[in-house]
Amino acid sequence: RSAPPWIWVILPTLEAAAYAFGIAYYDTTFARERTSLPFRIMEKAGSYSYSIYLLHLFFVHQLAAFINDNIMDISNFYVACLWSLACFLATIPIGHL
């Protein structure tokens, strides 16, 4: 027997609320200034990563198809992960914008 359809609305909502609570708790736990180099690096990496996450939808499928059709087969998981890393590093300047 399959789950009732409403469960697919309730469960993701509860999961999102739990993540939001965890992030809000973590964000307000540390009262001191976070100006040390490791915190600044993590802050920059997080902002770049989020920018790339928002923009990747516009080109990720076309880029994967281009690599697969014109450069090499990326059906192997490990090869695809290496190409993913290379493409991520190439999009860091876009995240800076």
In one letter, which amino acid is 61?
H
User: In this prediction, what percent of the chain has a pLDDT beyond 70?
Assistant: 91
* Residue 1 in domain: no
Give the structural domain span for 45.
Answer: 7-96
Confidence of residue 77 (pLDDT cuts 50, 70, 90): very high
3-state helix, strand, coil in the chain (%, to 5): 80, 0, 20
Domain count along the chain:
1
On whether residue 31 sits in a domain, the answer given is: yes
On whether the pTM is more than 0.75, the answer is no
Instruction: Give pLDDT tens digits for 34-60.
Output: 777 888 888 887 778 878 888 888 888
Contact 95/43 with Cβ under 8 angstroms?
no
Residue 30 covered by a domain: yes
Residue 56 included in any domain = yes
Closest C-alpha among 48, 34, 42, 55 to residue 89: 48
Q: Does the pLDDT of residue 71 top 90, yes or no?
A: yes
Residue 2 falls within a domain, yes or no? no
75 in any annotated domain: yes
Sign of CA dihedral 44, 97, 53, 65: negative
